[in-house]
Amino acid sequence: MKILKVNATAITTEGAPQMLENHRSEWTAEDKKKTNLDNIAKDILYKTLDKNIFAKIKTCSTSKEIWEKLTQLCEGNDQTKENKLTVAIQKFYNANMKLGESLAEFDEQFSAIIIEMTSLGKECFKCKI
């Protein structure tokens, strides 16, 4: 993890201060605490991942990078989310109760479609009470 400090002698072209890496010997107690929390977060993430996913995130150096990579892997980009939503909407319109299927089984299938659509940002029903 890199702890940054402001370089008082230089300013970037955008007017923002230039940042330099703060060496470990110059870390404050707060910097050490942040690093420790990052290590704890990485440890928790590592312990919850299977070998396949771990192989995809092992090059990340901070817990924030790991989380962003996991989000990208699991949720995908905007195009992927849009494709998943299109498929879920098609499932919704094509949902039919199959011969021999109980109402409870159909309800479970239909509820799963609604949950999937809702998780992708599609509001399915508005309740007015």
Tens digits of residue pLDDT in 51-62: 888 898 889 988
Rounded Cα gap, residues 20 and 26, in angstroms: 12
Instruction: Say if residues 106 and 97 touch (Cβ distance below 8 Å).
Output: yes
What per-residue confidence (pLDDT) applies to 39? Answer: 87
| 32 and 51 within one domain | yes
- Going by pLDDT thresholds of 50, 70 and 90, the confidence category of residue 127 is low
Asked whether residue 127 is assigned to any structural domain, the reply reads no
| 85 and 58 within one domain | no
Rounded Cα gap, residues 116 and 97, in angstroms: 19
Position 129 pLDDT exceeds 60? no
| 91 and 37 within one domain | no
| 19 and 36 within one domain | yes
Helices (H), the chain: 29-48, 51-57, 63-75, 78-94, 103-119
Asked whether residue 129 is assigned to any structural domain, the reply reads no
Average pLDDT, the chain: 81
Record the tokens describing residue 101, joined without a space.
Answer: 């299927």
**What is the per-residue pLDDT across 2-41, written as a single tens digit (0 to 9) for each?**
666 666 666 666 667 666 667 777 778 887 888 888 889 9
| 82 and 28 within one domain | no
Instruction: Say if residues 109 and 95 touch (Cβ distance below 8 Å).
Output: yes
Residue whose structure tokens are 């396949």: 52
| 90 and 62 within one domain | no
| 89 and 110 within one domain | yes
Number of domains the chain is built from = 2
What per-residue confidence (pLDDT) applies to 14? Answer: 67
| 103 and 83 within one domain | yes
Position 83 pLDDT exceeds 80? yes
The residue segments making up the domain with residue 111 are 78-119
